[in-house]
Structure 1
């Protein structure tokens, strides 16, 4: 008996809320136009948030080969460059020599065109 009362109160609760919601009768074209406006506004917002990513050229010199890579300025690191070359280089490297004069952490972003060793 208690279960029946609980079920009937749940049913009554959903019936009372569904009847209080007003229903607008919109045509499919109106709904489609509204969705397109919402999408266009969100797309524009997303485009404005994205900053332009500049590219830099990184010459990587390792004992086996020399490679030129196009990387993202202030985002890509020597670690990312090593990932393009070999997994062994990734596992065994902790520092990089930038432009033959700067010792660079493998996780520090590269700021300009450079050479790596």
Structure 2
């Protein structure tokens, strides 16, 4: 219900959070029956339980070995220019063939 009120407030270009909360509370308390409030609350609790269960399953996945394998990728990517090369293959700071390494002191 709150999302519907927020969507309508956005349509009417009302951005005052206090007014949106007042409207939501007014609709909730004055225009919904106890049965509707119970159904909304029950639906929200079920959705929260589903999301928490899904999140707890995701948290237990151990992807350490996958991350180690990604870090250890050492295949050089074939690129067309130096920007792409630096982006995909990483910047090499020990490369002494660049213009910058010829004119700048070490460490810059």
Same fold (TM over 0.5): no
Which structure carries more strand by proportion?
1
> Which structure has the greater CA radius of gyration?
1
Higher relative contact order (CA 8 A, sep 6+): 1
Which structure carries more helix by proportion?
2
Calculate the TM-score normalised by the size of structure 1.
Answer: 0.29
